[in-house]
Amino acid sequence: GRLLALTLSRDGNPEIYTMDVRSGALNRLTRNAAIDTEPAWMPDGRSIVFTSDRGGSAQLYKIPAAGGSAQRLTFEGKYNAGADISPDGRRIAMVHGERGRYRIAVLDLDSGRMRVLTDGSLDESPSFAPNGSMIIYATGAGNREVLAGVSVDGRFRQRFSLQAGNVREPVWSPFGK
């Protein structure tokens, strides 16, 4: 709780930084002509997953929180962005885009295997449940944006009905909240 990860364009190009909450001191982690954005902490606090187009299209990368070299994590598809990490740090949920469709996918970090879990055309903003078994996300249904959920194995899917309004960027609370 003493560091924040953020995207900052202070030098004209979006880069990933950490900021010490008490002092306000910044530590620049990325140095690339590409756009680096959407940082997400790994649960152990040692590294950060972020989206970058440094390989020619939006893909996920991981970098040590103290700085160092970025490691590319995703290789399937032309677009992988918006990472959310499972509470145990073993999986990463993301928006996976291919052929004009954007779906929720999960990357197993142990095996490197990616699995597309949803079948919508514009599924976005995945968020893991505190126990890691489900992912909620926003998706289109007719002319509305609704809340949906999928199990991490893709077998169970559900749309949640809300009386009015559009759902955007849902996030699951931690245990006990």
Q: Distance between CA 97 and CA 58 in Å, rounded?
A: 9
177, pLDDT greater than 70: no
- Shortest CA distance to 114 belongs to which of 150, 164, 59, 75? 75
E strands present in 45-143: 47-52, 59-64, 71-72, 79-85, 91-98, 101-108, 114-116, 124-128, 134-141
Q: pLDDT at position 146, please?
A: 86
Centre a 10 Å sphere on the Cβ of residue 171 and count the other Cβ atoms it contains: 10
Average of per-residue pLDDT across 79-105: 96
Task: Please compute the mean of the pLDDT values over residues 164-171 and round it to a whole number.
Answer: 81
pTM here is: 0.92
Per-residue pLDDT at 45: 95
pLDDT above 90: percentage of residues in the chain:
81
31-59 average pLDDT score: 96
Least confident of 53-67, 74-88, 112-126, 154-168: 154-168
What pLDDT score was predicted for residue 176? 62
Arithmetic mean of pLDDT, 97-105: 94
* pLDDT band at 22; cut points 50, 70, 90: very high
- Give me the mean pLDDT over the 74-84 stretch: 95
Grade residue 1 by pLDDT with cuts at 50, 70 and 90: confident
Residue listed under structure tokens 């849902």: 170
pLDDT in tens, 102-137: 999 999 999 999 999 999 999 999 999 999 999 999
pLDDT of 25? 96
In our burial notation (b when 16+ CB lie closer than 10 A, e otherwise), range 114-128 reads: bebbbebeebbbbbb
pLDDT band at 144 (very low <50, low <70, confident <90, very high): confident
φ, ψ (nearest 5 deg) of residue 174? -70, 170
Question: Which of 66, 73, 67, 68 minimizes the C-alpha distance to 52?
Answer: 73
